[in-house]
Amino acid sequence: MESEIVLTGCTVVDGRALAGVPPLPGAAVWVRGDRIAAVGPAAEVLAEAGDCRQVDLAGAYLTPGLVNMHTHLSLSLPGRGGDAVKGLSPYELAHYMADGARRTLHCGVTTVRCVAEKDHADFALRRAITSGQAAGPRIFTAGRALVCTGGHGHEGTDTLECDGADGFRRGVRDQVKAGADLIKVMISGGIAGEHESIHTRQLFADELAAAIETAHAWGRKVTAHAGPAPVIAEAVELGLDCVEHGYQLTPEVTALMAERGTALVPTLLVTRCKEFFDELGVPEWMQRRSLGAGPRHLESYAMALAAGVEVLLGSDMPPFWPFEGTNASVRELEHMSESGLGPARALHAGTLGPVRWLGAEADLGTVEPGKYADLIAMDGDPLATASAFRGVRWVMSGGRIVRDDQAGWNAP
Mean pLDDT of 3-23: 96
Residue 73 contacts residue 101 (beta carbons within 8 Å): yes
The pLDDT, as a whole number, for residue 190 is 75
CA–CA separation, 148 and 163 (whole Å): 5
The pTM (predicted TM-score) of the whole model is 0.96
HEC string of 287-314?
HHHHHHCHHHHHHHHHHHHHHCCCECCC
- Spell out the residues 6+ positions from residue 353 whose beta carbon is closer than 8 angstroms to its own: 15, 263, 310, 311, 312, 313
Mean pLDDT of 11-39: 97
Q: Distance between alpha carbon 60 and the CA centroid of its chain, in Å?
A: 24
pLDDT tens per residue, range 196-207: 667 777 799 999
pLDDT tens per residue, range 61-103: 999 999 999 999 999 989 999 999 999 999 999 999 999 999 9
DSSP-H helix ranges across 111-228: 121-131, 164-178, 205-217
Mean pLDDT of 152-174: 93
Three-state DSSP at 99 gives helix
Residue 146 contacts residue 159 (beta carbons within 8 Å): yes
pLDDT score of 108 more than 80: yes
CA–CA separation, 63 and 367 (whole Å): 7
Q: Quick one: DSSP state of residue 65?
A: P
The pLDDT, as a whole number, for residue 153 is 67
CATH 3.30.450.20 matches 4-65+365-410? no
pLDDT score of 409 more than 80: no
CA–CA separation, 249 and 301 (whole Å): 8
Three-state DSSP at 136 gives coil
Residue 154 contacts residue 163 (beta carbons within 8 Å): no
- Spell out the residues 6+ positions from residue 288 whose beta carbon is closer than 8 angstroms to its own: none
pLDDT score of 1 more than 50: no
Query: CB 247: neighbour CB atoms within 10 A?
Result: 27
CATH topology of domain 66-358: TIM Barrel (3.20.20)
Q: Please, is 311 exposed, middle or buried when counting C-beta atoms within 10 Å of its C-beta (0-12, 13-18, 19+)? A: buried
The pLDDT, as a whole number, for residue 194 is 67
Written as one letter, the residue type at 334 is: E
- Quick one: angle between helices 229-237 and 205-217, nearest 10? 40
pLDDT score of 228 more than 60: yes
Residue 371 contacts residue 365 (beta carbons within 8 Å): yes
β-bridge pairing 322-323 and 326-327: antiparallel
Q: Which of 242, 260, 232 is nearest to 358 (CA)?
A: 242
CA–CA separation, 270 and 331 (whole Å): 11
Pairwise pLDDT comparison (1 vs 280), residue with the higher score: 280
Q: Quick one: DSSP state of residue 52?
A: -
Domain residue spans in the chain? 4-65+365-410, 66-358
CA–CA separation, 312 and 347 (whole Å): 10
pLDDT score of 111 more than 80: yes
The pLDDT, as a whole number, for residue 382 is 98
Residue 105 contacts residue 395 (beta carbons within 8 Å): yes
CA–CA separation, 342 and 16 (whole Å): 15
The pLDDT, as a whole number, for residue 197 is 65
